[in-house]
């Protein structure tokens, strides 16, 4: 079977380079085989060949037999060349989301049979393997179809191993930049399905047949339906974890065999992102900044910083959204998970800014500009505060001591007013000074004879009326002022009630929205099997023997 060396070739394991660590001979292009003597080349001597066994073998294959590397190794035109492929991954370098490019370091193993390169090892010093430059033999011209840099050919042309049975294997290393469509729906809890699609752009399905390379175990062969990873030579990627690494031969019957798209060998890499970096550097700051919007409802309206805090949170979210947009490809197919959260937060913060403006408008309302209706007063000052567990400080009634103090002081005030009403202003000012300097006491007019009680009451009424009017004016003014302040306090209390109501509404919405958005990413897991509907795992633990 193609991919398994002929029986009796126990030297294959030593002749083939190990994945990730190719032999020095294999890389440098030496013609020396494992069973070849290392005699130095010397000029031809009379009566001798002047060539070592390997040189003689090369001349026999390429000169005497007339080998042509441009012709397919088939006897008839309708015959096909079976080409087996396998892939060894040594490093998953990176996945650039913006460019949608997967960078990998791989070894791609080609195997086929070239009957023109057969020889009898007994005739050539028991040489069983040759290491030849690739430009000396026929190559199937297998290229990476979905490359992303326009380089279809393998950059480093290492040696080709040719065995005496005509079995040819070629294991060139390569760094491929393949295209990988990025699904940003659940970023940064996403997984991607990237593939490396190999086919021949030079030969059709009528000329070569692609297949997966086969190995043998316990005299039973199985195809290598996975990407080979050597644990000793593989370098882990810090951002991506490999979940599945399947290999599959794809044949499209709807495409004619004359087309190069009829068959291909595709290697699938299903990788899952390690989200810790993005959780620490993006998600946690975004969530903390978004939840700071709840502090706006704790700020009193008099401080004047309510809208400033809300707008600052909105600007911070805009900066994070800009950073994420630079990290992901400019696609309109889906919105990333963290982008959904930021958009949700920005919409919520915008609503909070509008609410802050409304609350400040209510807070600074006065009775001279707005009238507080009884329905609004009852709902926002009585009903809603009870539901929101809000309470206003109770007004203390004046105690009995305060009433006694007020009544006892009233008599002194009345006597003082009577005394000052009978004396002129000059007497009050210079009464003591005139007696101190020996001046005669002032002349006073003789008291009028006592009048009737009605006349006295009329005179007292005329004298006290201005004072009473003034006192009434002061009382009315104080009553109006108290009513004004009380109405203003009612508007302030309405604003505080609206703040508390919005706090009780916005906080659960923020918590539920955040949990709902990020739980989508947590439950977004790669499939258990690489291909939907196919129970086979395409791994070393699940080999399918032929």
Average pLDDT over residues 267-275: 95
Q: pLDDT-based confidence at 451, cuts 50/70/90? A: low
Same domain for 189 and 118, yes or no, is yes
Same domain for 259 and 300, yes or no, is no
Separation of alpha carbons 10 and 23, rounded Å:
18
455 burial type by CB count under 10 A (0-12 exposed, 13-18 middle, 19+ buried): exposed
Same domain for 167 and 251, yes or no, is yes
Q: Look at residue 175 and tell me whether its pLDDT is greater than 70.
A: yes
Residue 70 belongs to domain spanning: 12-274
Q: Specify the CATH number for the domain of residue 36.
A: 2.70.170.10
Last residue of one domain, picked from the residues 274, 303, 324? 274
Separation of alpha carbons 291 and 413, rounded Å:
61
Is the Cβ–Cβ distance between 237 and 273 less than 8 Å?
no
What is the residue whose two structure tokens read 């991607």? 192
Question: What pLDDT, in 10s, does the model give residues 12-48?
Answer: 333 334 333 333 333 333 333 444 333 333 333 333 3
Separation of alpha carbons 109 and 88, rounded Å:
8
Paired sense of beta strands 208-212 and 81-96, if any? parallel
Q: pLDDT-based confidence at 464, cuts 50/70/90? A: confident
Average pLDDT over residues 141-162: 84
The reported pLDDT for the residue numbered 172 is: 93
Same domain for 207 and 125, yes or no, is yes
**Which one is predicted more confidently, 369 or 541?**
541
Average pLDDT over residues 452-461: 74
Determine, yes or no, domain membership for 176: yes
Q: Look at residue 366 and tell me whether its pLDDT is greater than 50.
A: yes
The reported pLDDT for the residue numbered 181 is: 92
Last residue of one domain, picked from the residues 274, 295, 314? 274
Q: DSSP code of 102?
A: E
Same domain for 129 and 49, yes or no, is yes
The reported pLDDT for the residue numbered 212 is: 96
| Tokens coding 127 | 């040489």
Q: pLDDT-based confidence at 471, cuts 50/70/90? A: confident
Q: Look at residue 148 and tell me whether its pLDDT is greater than 70.
A: yes
| Tokens coding 414 | 């009345």
Question: What pLDDT, in 10s, does the model give residues 345-357?
Answer: 999 999 999 999 9
Same domain for 225 and 366, yes or no, is no
Q: pLDDT-based confidence at 272, cuts 50/70/90? A: very high
Degrees (nearest 5) of the Cα angle 393, 396, 400? Answer: 170
**Which one is predicted more confidently, 428 or 73?**
73
Q: Look at residue 439 and tell me whether its pLDDT is greater than 80.
A: no
Same domain for 158 and 244, yes or no, is yes
Determine, yes or no, domain membership for 435: no
The reported pLDDT for the residue numbered 192 is: 95
- The closest alpha carbon to 366, from 448, 474, 486, belongs to 486
Residue 375 belongs to what H/E stretch? helix 374-378
Determine, yes or no, domain membership for 409: no
The reported pLDDT for the residue numbered 152 is: 66
Q: DSSP code of 160?
A: E
Determine, yes or no, domain membership for 445: no
**Which one is predicted more confidently, 66 or 408?**
66
Same domain for 280 and 347, yes or no, is yes
Across 237-246, 322-331, 532-541, least confident range? 322-331
Q: Specify the CATH number for the domain of residue 337.
A: 1.20.58.390
Question: What pLDDT, in 10s, does the model give residues 102-144?
Answer: 999 999 999 999 999 999 999 998 999 999 999 999 999 999 9
Q: How many domains does the chain have?
A: 2
Same domain for 136 and 252, yes or no, is yes
The residues, any chain, with a CB within 8 Å of residue 431's CB and separated by 6 or more, are 423
Same domain for 71 and 108, yes or no, is yes
The reported pLDDT for the residue numbered 403 is: 44
Is the Cβ–Cβ distance between 91 and 174 less than 8 Å?
no
Question: What pLDDT, in 10s, does the model give residues 385-404?
Answer: 888 877 766 655 555 554 44
Question: What pLDDT, in 10s, does the model give residues 485-529?
Answer: 888 888 888 888 998 999 999 999 999 999 999 999 888 999 999
The reported pLDDT for the residue numbered 157 is: 82
Is the Cβ–Cβ distance between 365 and 491 less than 8 Å?
yes
The reported pLDDT for the residue numbered 428 is: 46
Average pLDDT over residues 524-536: 91
Is the Cβ–Cβ distance between 366 and 483 less than 8 Å?
no
Terminal alpha carbon distance of the chain: 10
Average pLDDT over residues 7-15: 36
Separation of alpha carbons 226 and 394, rounded Å:
78
Determine, yes or no, domain membership for 353: yes
Average pLDDT over residues 96-103: 91
Instruction: Determine the 3-state secondary structure of 235 from DSSP.
Output: strand
**Considering just the CA atoms, what is the radius of gyration of the chain in Å?**
49
Q: pLDDT-based confidence at 9, cuts 50/70/90? A: very low
pTM for the structure as a whole: 0.71
Measured torsion, CA atoms of residues 47, 52, 58, 63, in degrees rounded to the nearest 10: -10
The reported pLDDT for the residue numbered 492 is: 86
The reported pLDDT for the residue numbered 169 is: 96
The reported pLDDT for the residue numbered 74 is: 92
Q: DSSP code of 15?
A: H
Share of the chain above pLDDT 90, in %: 45
The sign one gets for the Cα dihedral 67, 68, 72, 74 is: negative
Same domain for 55 and 157, yes or no, is yes
Across 20-24, 51-55, 358-362, least confident range? 20-24
> φ, ψ for residue 5 (rounded to 5)?
-65, 160
Separation of alpha carbons 500 and 390, rounded Å:
9
- The closest alpha carbon to 127, from 48, 216, 38, 40, belongs to 38
């Amino acid at each position: 079977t193609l991919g398994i060396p002929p029986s009796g070739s126990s030297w294959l394991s030593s002749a083939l380079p190990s994945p990730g660590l190719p032999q020095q001979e294999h890389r440098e292009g030496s013609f020396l085989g494992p069973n070849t003597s290392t005699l130095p080349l010397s000029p031809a001597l009379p009566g001798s060949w002047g060539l070592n066994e390997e040189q003689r073998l090369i001349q026999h294959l390429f000169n005497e037999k007339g080998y042509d590397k441009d012709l397919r190794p088939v006897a008839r035109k309708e015959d096909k060349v079976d080409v087996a492929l396998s892939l060894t991954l040594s490093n998953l370098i990176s996945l650039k989301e913006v460019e949608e490019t997967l960078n990998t370091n791989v070894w791609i193993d080609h195997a086929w049979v070239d009957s023109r390169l057969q020889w009898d090892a007994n005739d050539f010093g028991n040489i069983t393997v040759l290491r030849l430059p690739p430009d000396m033999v026929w190559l199937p011209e297998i290229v990476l179809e979905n490359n992303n840099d326009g380089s279809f050919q393998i950059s480093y042309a290492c040696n080709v191993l040719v065995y005496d049975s005509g079995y040819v294997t070629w294991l060139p290393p390569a760094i491929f930049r393949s295209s990988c469509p990025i699904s940003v729906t659940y970023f940064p809890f996403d997984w991607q399905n990237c593939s490396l699609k190999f086919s021949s752009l030079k030969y059709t399905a009528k000329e070569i047949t692609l297949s997966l390379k086969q190995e043998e175990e316990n005299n039973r062969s199985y195809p290598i339906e996975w990407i080979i990873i050597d644990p000793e030579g593989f370098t882990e990627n810090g951002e991506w974890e490999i979940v599945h690494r399947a290999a599959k031969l794809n044949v499209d019957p709807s495409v004619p065999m004359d087309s190069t798209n009829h068959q291909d060998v595709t290697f699938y890499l299903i990788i899952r992102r390690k989200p810790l970096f993005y959780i620490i550097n993006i998600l946690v700051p975004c969530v903390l900044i978004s939840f700071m919007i709840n502090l706006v409802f704790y700020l009193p309206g008099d401080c004047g910083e309510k809208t400033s805090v809300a707008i600052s949170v909105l600007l911070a979210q805009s900066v994070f959204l800009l950073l994420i947009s630079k990290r992901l490809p400019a696609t309109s197919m889906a919105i990333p998970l963290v982008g959904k959260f930021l958009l949700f937060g920005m919409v919520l913060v915008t609503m909070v800014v509008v609410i802050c403006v409304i609350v400040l408008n209510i807070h600074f309302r006065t009775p001279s500009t707005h009238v507080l209706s009884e329905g609004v007063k009852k709902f926002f000052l009585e009903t809603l505060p009870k539901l929101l567990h809000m309470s206003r400080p109770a007004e203390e009634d004046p105690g009995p001591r305060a009433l006694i103090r007020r009544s006892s002081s009233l008599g002194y005030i009345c006597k003082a007013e009577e005394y000052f009403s009978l004396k002129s202003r000059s007497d009050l000012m210079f009464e003591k000074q005139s007696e101190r300097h020996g001046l005669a006491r002032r002349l006073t007019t003789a008291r009028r004879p006592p009048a009737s009680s009605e006349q006295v009451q009329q005179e007292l009424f005329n004298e006290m009326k201005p004072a009473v009017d003034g006192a009434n004016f002061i009382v009315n003014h104080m009553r109006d002022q108290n009513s004004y302040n009380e109405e203003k306090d009612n508007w302030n209390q309405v604003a505080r009630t609206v703040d508390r109501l919005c706090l009780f509404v916005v906080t659960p919405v923020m918590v539920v929205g955040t949990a709902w958005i990020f739980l989508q990413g947590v439950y977004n897991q790669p499939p258990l099997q690489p291909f939907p509907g196919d129970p086979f795992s395409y791994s070393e633990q699940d080999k399918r023997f032929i």
